[in-house]
């Protein structure tokens, strides 16, 4: 039975440390007015017998995909990359992806890891790779991570031990493969005037006004024009065939996705001045009306 008087003992800083039950009530020492979330000093003592807590958590980490670990330029080039955003990379945990290495590769993994560490990156694990590489990585103390895409939490959690129903089963940290540098979308809110050119490098481009004839929009990603598109729009500029172009009113001079283009004359009257999306279907530039409203 909870002993309200005992709460005074627990209202110091110590009371807050026990978080399995009680929460703020335990800390502030309110006697359980609604009958829950108060902890008696007796049960608090019992909890402290288990000196740890197991719970699941997920962490996003950078993956360093290794193509040619013996290349003499490897670390010079990696250093250049790291120096582009020093704060971002400093002490960043990183998983080494060896999936692309050929079976026959031979290299000093210990020295390789040491060089990664010298750039203030912290290798914590590895993925894939030929057998010999994996063994070497284990020996060096790197954690084997599940290969490929992010593992779903449900797949990895083992059935809980029936003897300890409250205990959460240990969960391997699911990882997410992320691009080392994420560039924010380029957003333009003023009309894009004739002769102006906007290039959204490695990202999408959004224009919330109109685009004049003689203006040029270029994006490695998608292009969205929430207005009239009267100039040129070239999406997937660096070759991404999945890129699309969206606009409220199609009056473009030239449309292109990953180099596949169409000029104004060849845009049918079905699509002229309509809300349209433009994309590649089987390698051919295609258009669909956007359903609005």
Site residues (CB under 8 A) for other proteins?
A: 190-196, 209-210, 212-215
Nearer to other proteins, 223 or 228 (CB): 228
Nearer to other proteins, 78 or 198 (CB): 198
CB 226 within 8 A of CB 208: yes
In whole angstroms, how close is the CB of 193 to other proteins at the nearest point? 3
Nearer to other proteins, 25 or 251 (CB): 251
In whole angstroms, how close is the CB of 227 to other proteins at the nearest point? 10
Nearer to other proteins, 209 or 260 (CB): 209
Q: Residue 259 carries which DSSP code?
A: T
Nearer to other proteins, 164 or 194 (CB): 194
Nearer to other proteins, 130 or 214 (CB): 214
In whole angstroms, how close is the CB of 212 to other proteins at the nearest point? 5
Residues in the chain: 293
In whole angstroms, how close is the CB of 228 to other proteins at the nearest point? 9
In whole angstroms, how close is the CB of 262 to other proteins at the nearest point? 22
């Amino acid at each position: 039975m909870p002993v309200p008087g005992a709460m005074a003992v627990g209202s110091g800083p110590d009371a807050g440390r026990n978080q399995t039950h009680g929460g703020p009530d335990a800390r502030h020492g309110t006697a359980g007015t609604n009958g829950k979330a108060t902890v008696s000093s007796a049960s608090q003592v019992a909890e402290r017998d288990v000196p740890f807590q197991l719970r699941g958590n997920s962490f996003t980490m950078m993956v360093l995909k290794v193509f040619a670990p013996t290349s003499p330029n490897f670390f010079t080039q990696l250093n250049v990359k790291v120096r582009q955003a020093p704060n971002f990379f400093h002490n960043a945990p990183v998983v080494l992806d060896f999936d692309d290495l050929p079976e026959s590769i031979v290299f000093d993994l210990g020295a390789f890891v040491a060089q990664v560490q010298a750039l203030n990156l912290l290798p914590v694990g590895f993925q894939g790779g030929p057998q010999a590489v994996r063994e070497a990585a284990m020996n060096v103390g790197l954690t084997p991570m599940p290969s490929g895409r992010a593992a779903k939490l449900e797949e990895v959690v083992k059935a809980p031990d029936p003897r300890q129903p409250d205990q959460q089963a240990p969960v391997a940290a699911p990882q997410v493969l992320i691009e080392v540098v994420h560039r924010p979308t380029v957003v333009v809110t003023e009309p894009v005037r004739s002769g102006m050119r906007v290039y959204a490098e490695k990202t999408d481009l959004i224009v919330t006004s109109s685009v004049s004839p003689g203006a040029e929009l270029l994006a490695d990603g998608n292009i969205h024009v929430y207005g009239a598109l009267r100039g040129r729009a070239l999406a997937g500029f660096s070759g991404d065939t999945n890129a699309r172009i969206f606009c409220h009113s199609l009056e473009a001079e030239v449309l292109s996705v990953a180099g596949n283009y169409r000029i104004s004359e060849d845009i049918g009257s079905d699509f002229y001045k309509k809300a349209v999306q433009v994309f590649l279907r089987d390698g051919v530039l295609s258009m669909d009306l956007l359903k609005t409203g």
